[in-house]
Chains A and B, each alone.
Chain A
Amino acid sequence: MEQLKQELKEALIEALNLEDITPDEIEDGAPLFGAQGLGLDSIDALEIILLLERRYGIRIENPSEGKAIFYSVDTLTAYIEANRKP
């Protein structure tokens, strides 16, 4: 799980071009979206959806789940663990 979190943080930094941010600076439980977290927005959400599809073969079928899944690195990691294709 810890390895997946680290991998996910690195993938987020690369996909979203998060300048000046290292994986260590992204808190596992902190919100990814909005002013309190990393400040991501709807375009970033699209990038994350594509990241999940390309990297882990996960397709989010129900868009209403997105808010909870994308809340933090913790929630994203748990979703990937439960749904990733072998």
Chain B
Amino acid sequence: MTRQPPVYINSAASIHPPLDGVGECLPGKCLTAVEPDYKRLIPDATLRRRMSRIVRMGVAAGQACLQDAAGVSPEAILTATGMGCLADTEKFMNSLLDGDEERLTPTAFIQSTFNTVGAQLALLNGNQSYNTTYVHRTFSFESALLDALLLIREREAVDVLAGAMDEQTPTLYTVLQRLGCWKRAMAGEGAAFFLLSGRRTDGTLAILQDVELFSGDYGEQAIRERMERFLLAHDAAGARTLYPADYKRFCGEYPTAASFALWYACRELREAEGKRPVLVYNAFLDAHSFILLKPV
């Protein structure tokens, strides 16, 4: 088998609920992200004022990631979201109802499309490269990562910016609560971006070894067996596994929580001694994914 070239994570940025677990927007119900001062990351006031919260979070995380890797212009921008720009979508849909399908405001519509963040990142950075948004519910972020891996391994791109964002709104919270989605973890939200590259730098955080997605009614034993096979196939049998409970207590539950988990794993890899590989296991309902990181 031909050995695949490594894919490095050269920078990572995340906007997430506070790691001390006190960021609740609806007390006892939902973890809310701590937002940075956007003026530094999105200096254009006109652009900024039109962005909804999720767009600001996504664009700011992407910009922070690019700023950390100064001078890099990615050959692809890949964004992922499970629910898209939900607050603006709700605003637009409500104005559709209230105005009897007339007199619709343009801004909420323009900003409510799923690819808004990817487009804004491209515009802000004058980047005309491949730009795609993945909207595959719980698999959205992992799909973007797979695309990035393929682009870099097939030498279609050297540097790829990939990230994800999802926001929580009171309507979403209520609807998903009725469906029983908050039984295992509190509702959450966040945005995280990564600069993936075929080139190692002084700031490289980790190696992104592989991503695997699968769905179905898997029991604990079946998951464990699949995990062992995956780790053995990548010569990483001694990996530390980050289970959903390990990171969703910080970020909460949302479709692209795996992006926070990856950021968290990068942080662990950088700070931990011993440097074992880290496996991120994400699961929501019947969707499961593995993301394997190795130390540099």
Contact = CB atoms under 8 A, between A and B. Distances in A.
B46 A41 contact: yes
B215 interface: no
Given A18-B49, A19-B48, A19-B49, A50 B110 contact: no
Contacts of A18: 49
Q: Is the contact region of chain A dominated by helix, strand, or loop, or is it mixed?
A: helix
A39 B46 contact: yes
Nearest to A17: B49
A46 B49 CA distance: 16
A67 interface: no
Q: Is the contact region of chain B dominated by helix, strand, or loop, or is it mixed?
A: helix
A16 B48 CA distance: 11
Contact of A47 (B48, B99, B106): B106
A43 interface: yes
A41 B107 CA distance: 12
A15 to B, nearest CB: 8
Interface in A41-83: 41, 43, 46-47, 50, 53-54
Contacts of B48: 19
B162 to A, nearest CB: 29
Contacts of B1: none
A18 B46 CA distance: 8
Contacts of B103: 50, 53-54
A46 B105 CA distance: 7
Interface in A1-43: 15-19, 39, 41, 43
Contact of B105 (A19, A39, A41, A47): A47
B45 A19 contact: yes
